[in-house]
Amino acid sequence: MRIIPILALCLLAVPSVSMSTAHAHGPSTTRGWHRPVPANAVRVMIEAPEGDGFTTVQHRGATFVAGELGERYNVRLVNDSADRLEVVVTVDGRDVISGKLGDFKKQRGYVLDPFGEVVIDGFRQSLDHVAAFRFSSVRESYSARRGTPQHAGVIGVAVFRERPQPVHHHARRGWADAEEIHSARPSTKSPAKDHAAGSAKADKLGTEFGETMVSQVIEVPFVRKSSTRPDELHKVVYDSAQRLRARGVPIEPVFVSEPWSPDPEMVPSPWPAARHDDRFAPPPPPRRWR
């Protein structure tokens, strides 16, 4: 069972969302949680549906996560502050609610209550369903199938604080206590892709528009303190452990140091400009069989 999240209406920009779950602390490199930066109000964690974390490394000021082809994952956001916050999230440069190119100035997000948290488990299809996040090849990723493969491999989180409201508006906090629902959880791996997960040569990872799952939300009001300037920006780069090692990221248990010079034109961005007006994430175009 899990808590129904809340999709808040951001009055200075666009609507937003919130969920809640527990959190834990751990070392900088771990099959689990990564150590938060003390100055930040929000912690970002990439985890399996059962709550286990993926290998996460803080390296040269950036966060790297080692994923595996076919595995499903969630994005858990924890609010360590006493403030109500809005978090606008992108996966592979695509907004997780609208499916548009990431633009935190115009797009809505999920709302975190003080010391609360949210688990985002897919691209939102409606107020009741999401398409699961599942590691895939770049070619099969949602972003590539919508025309932006260059942004595969990155997760972005923009955090906005709330404009102070009159005391009588605080009654809205009670909306966060929603009834629990039962949700059937599929296996964490896609059987059709298990053979590729152990491949000797690893391809770059992306995130596909996965199977439809129940994930209910409601909309609530939220007014940003600043409508266009986030209080925090988080960026998480993910790829296979083999490819991260090749880039010089110290993923355990083996460290392989090789020079890596990315093409500036191909570096993924979590916040490319938005161009579409769809409210929720539309399905990708159908595959073209040759």
Strand-pair partners of 7: 219
> Which residues fall within 8 angstroms of residue 35, CB to CB, at 6 or more apart?
25, 26, 27, 28, 58
pLDDT of residue 100: 95
Q: What are the average pLDDT values for consecutive 10-residue runs of the chain, which has 290 residues?
A: 48 38 34 50 94 88 92 96 96 96 94 95 96 96 96 96 71 33 37 42 88 93 93 95 92 55 65 61 77
pLDDT of residue 103: 95
pLDDT of residue 7: 55
Strand-pair partners of 219: 7
Name the pTM for this structure. 0.70
Q: Would you give the distance in Å from CA 277 to the centre of its chain?
A: 21
pLDDT of residue 165: 75
pLDDT of residue 283: 84
Q: Please, what sign has the CA dihedral across residues 48, 51, 52, 58?
A: positive
Are 138 and 204 spatial neighbours (Cβ–Cβ below 8 Å)?
yes
Q: Which of 50, 60, 59 is nearest to 2 (CA)?
A: 50
pLDDT of residue 3: 45
